[in-house]
Amino acid sequence: MTKLDLKKFEKKMIIRNMKEEDIDSIIRLQEVCFKGMEPWKKSQLESHINIFPEGQFVAEYDGEIIGSCSSLVINFAEYDDRHTWDDVTNNGYITNHDPDGYNLYGIEVMVHPSFRRMKIGQRLYEVRKELARQLNLKSIIIGGRIPNYHLHSDELSPREYVRQVTSHKLYDPVLSFQLDNDFILMRINPNYLPDDKQSNKYATLMEWNNADYRPKSKRFYKTSYPVRICVVQYMMRAIRSFEDFAAQVEYFTDVASDAGSDFAVFPEIFTTQLMSFLDERSPSLAIRKLTEFTEQYIELFTDLAVRYNVNIIGGSHFVEEENEEIYNIAYLFRRDGTIEKQYKLHITPNERRWWGISQGNDIRVFDTDCGKIAIQICYDIEFPELARIATDMGARIIFTPFCTEDRQGYLRVRYCAQARAVENQVYTVISGTVGNLPQTENMDIQYAQSGIFAPSDFEFARDGIVGETNPNIEMVLIGDVDLEVLRRQRQEGTVRHLQDRRHDLFKIEYRKK
């Protein structure tokens, strides 16, 4: 008898991390598993893989994707009891993923109907549990569908239906499975998934506790999480070369570093100081010449951030990109040498008229070694929706480089920054330019008083002002903000703006481009 080739009988079952080439298969799988519900967008799954690749898994059987699950890490104590799926996933993009969180939050598990009863779902749950053990997370939390509820909704309330399932008098394919996998019911949330008609939009909030969890003193017993910020109120004066500009910038970076600052913050478009030696009277032509310094500007600040061991909000700079469009861009230069950028989203009439500046389209939140931050350039802080979206994406500090020529313009920035701090329970920082450039068209006068602002409550600085500079003179402001105090006040403060939002009445939607 010929020896059998066993390989032709093999059908491999693999649970592995998700890859970009799996995305189309996962979207097709979701359309089969959840008919009538909106499937993943490609951009959402790409975001999952970019932000938290360890938490995204697929089940591959004989080369075919037959199951998947997605998750992120959060500090669940920071979320409203009435949260929805959109709230906890930042509309499916998981940009609120918190590597320092306590809980793994499962946002989806699916198995192709043709491959059920092969324990695919159980394998995916087990790999999640193993991930929670590896990351030393306190628990796994899931918002589970109750897809059979629509069959009983005429005679049973959601609570009664769940009670019947937990006592094994009724069967629900999701809830019964979760109970079998040692998940415990926490509560029932209404309006969790608006397009989940089978569950009548309800979800059961379930938790699995990691018995191997080891509390770490730096997280579990944390009483303070200070972050030191050095705000530079920068004097605009005529210079003769880029080297003169670099010398001034390095001086202030050195000051920030000597003070042990975590962040040094420069003002909006302070690189227009370079126009003082460009000998170009036309504002639109001068701006195009200014963009030629972009690479030198980026190289300078990248080098300073690393050498002086400080994260730098590099003010903002005019940058020419594709199709000769010019953007006002603020850069984050991390002290590990990495760089991020935030485009100005709202362009003032002045910027359009004199310089022809184009608007950006993306709201960004950046991870740093001091938590998540956002940058909202000058006019952008005057639009409350942006700060609320950034807060929901995890930002705890919003930096606002600004440039205003008169007191009225300055007060718009200041009052709005203070309002954003109160209504979002975040810290806000404004950094402005002072001085004069008499020979530079449209940048001739400046007015500023820079500051660091906090929410208004007992544990924060009086009047909600951590510190402020004197108006209209060159100086620095150095102040400490405490992210642990911020966290506690969100949960236990006199007022709790984030928890007390009326999600039943209003919602802000970020139409990501």
Q: Which of 268, 351, 382, 468 is catalytic?
A: 268
- Positions of E strands within 29-178: 57-61, 64-74, 103-111, 139-145
Answer for the pair 327, 318: CB distance below 8 angstroms, yes or no: yes
Catalytic residue among 129, 138, 341, 344: 344
Strand boundaries in 436-483, DSSP class E: 451-453, 465-468, 475-482
CA distance 419 to 454: 10
**Where does residue 455 rank: exposed (0-12), middle (13-18), buried (19+ CB within 10 A)?**
buried
Pairwise CA distance, residues 399 & 373, whole Å = 8
Pairing label, strands 371-375, 366-368: antiparallel
Residues 6+ apart with CB under 8 A from 259: 228, 230, 478
Rounded alpha-carbon distances, angstroms, from residue 69 to 63, 94, 477: 17, 14, 47
- Region label for 172, one of left (φ > 0), alpha (ψ between -120 and 50) or beta (otherwise): beta
Instruction: Supply angle C-alpha 226, 231, 235, rounded to 5.
Output: 170
Distance CA 247, CA 278 (A): 18
Residue of 378, 382, 416, 468 marked catalytic: 378
How crowded is residue 149: how many other Cβ atoms within 10 Å of its Cβ?
A: 25
Whether 344 is catalytic is: yes
Tell me the torsion sign for CA atoms 367, 369, 372, 378.
Answer: negative
Q: Are 302 and 339 within 8 A, CB to CB?
A: yes
User: Cα-atom radius of gyration of the chain, to the nearest Å?
Assistant: 26
**Residue 340 annotated among the catalytic residues of the structure:** no
SS3 156: coil
Closest C-alpha among 351, 342, 345, 466 to residue 404:
351
CB within 8 Å of 229: residues ≥ 6 apart: 261, 262, 263, 265, 397, 429, 452, 478, 479, 480, 481
Residue found under tokens 């087990």? 126
Q: Is 268 a catalytic residue?
A: yes
Q: Which amino acid is at 35?
A: K
Active site residues: 268, 344, 378
